[in-house]
């Protein structure tokens, strides 16, 4: 069974402006894929402005436009987040693109030279995750 581990790194982790994690896709203890994740900062799990908290969830594949989604491309939805709905993993680079969702990226970059990392190559990371994962995958979010 493939599992997605989202590890929020203390040295990158939560800040006043955003949350940065490493995503590890594993199967039988072997790492199959690794990328980064950018989310908004922790704001008490508030809809559209907060990262979600640590725990276990189901990551479900969503097709373009599924269930009225505004995304015109395949993406993911994090299921069973208490007090939240429509938490997605989708394409984007900057925390302003998140709206309470996660943005995968192949690497970190400081596009605007403000000392705060953004994710780069988000489209590639999302597609690799989509190609690799099952329709539903266990997502485990933890602090390092």
The residues, any chain, with a CB within 8 Å of residue 131's CB and separated by 6 or more, are none
pTM, two decimal places: 0.92
Closest CA to 19 of 1, 43, 35: 43
Let me know if 17 is exposed, middle or buried by CB neighbors in 10 A (0-12, 13-18, 19+).
exposed
Q: pLDDT, tens digit, for every residue of 13-63?
A: 557 889 999 999 999 999 999 999 999 998 999 999 999 989 999 999 998
pLDDT band at 138 (very low <50, low <70, confident <90, very high): very high
Evaluate if residue 11 carries a pLDDT over 70.
no
Would you kindly state where each structural domain of the chain is located, as residue ranges?
A: 2-143
Match domain 2-143 to its CATH number in 1.10.150, 3.40.50, 2.40.440, 2.40.50: 2.40.440
Average model confidence (pLDDT) across the chain:
91
**Three-class secondary structure of residue 20 per DSSP:** strand
pLDDT value at position 59? 97
Distant-in-sequence contacts of 25-32, Cβ < 8 A, 24+ apart: 25/129, 25/132, 25/133, 26/2, 27/1, 27/2, 27/3, 32/2, 32/132
Q: pLDDT, tens digit, for every residue of 64-116?
A: 877 666 888 999 999 999 999 899 999 999 999 999 999 999 999 999 898 88
pLDDT value at position 14? 56
Comparing 11 with 32, the larger pLDDT belongs to: 32
pLDDT value at position 131? 96
């Amino acid at each position: 069974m493939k599992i997605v581990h989202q590890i929020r790194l203390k040295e990158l982790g939560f800040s006043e402006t955003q949350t940065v994690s490493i995503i590890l896709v594993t199967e039988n203890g072997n790492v199959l894929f690794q990328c980064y994740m950018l989310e908004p900062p922790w704001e008490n799990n508030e809809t559209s402005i907060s990262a979600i908290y640590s725990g276990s969830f189901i990551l479900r594949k969503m097709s373009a436009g599924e269930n009225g989604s505004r995304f015109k491309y395949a993406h993911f939805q994090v299921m069973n987040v208490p007090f939240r709905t429509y938490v997605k993993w989708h394409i984007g680079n900057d925390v302003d693109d998140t709206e309470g969702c996660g943005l995968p990226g192949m690497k970190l970059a400081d596009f605007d030279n403000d000392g705060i990392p953004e994710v780069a190559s988000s489209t590639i990371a999302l597609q690799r995750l989509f190609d690799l994962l099952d329709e539903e995958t266990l997502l485990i979010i933890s602090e390092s």
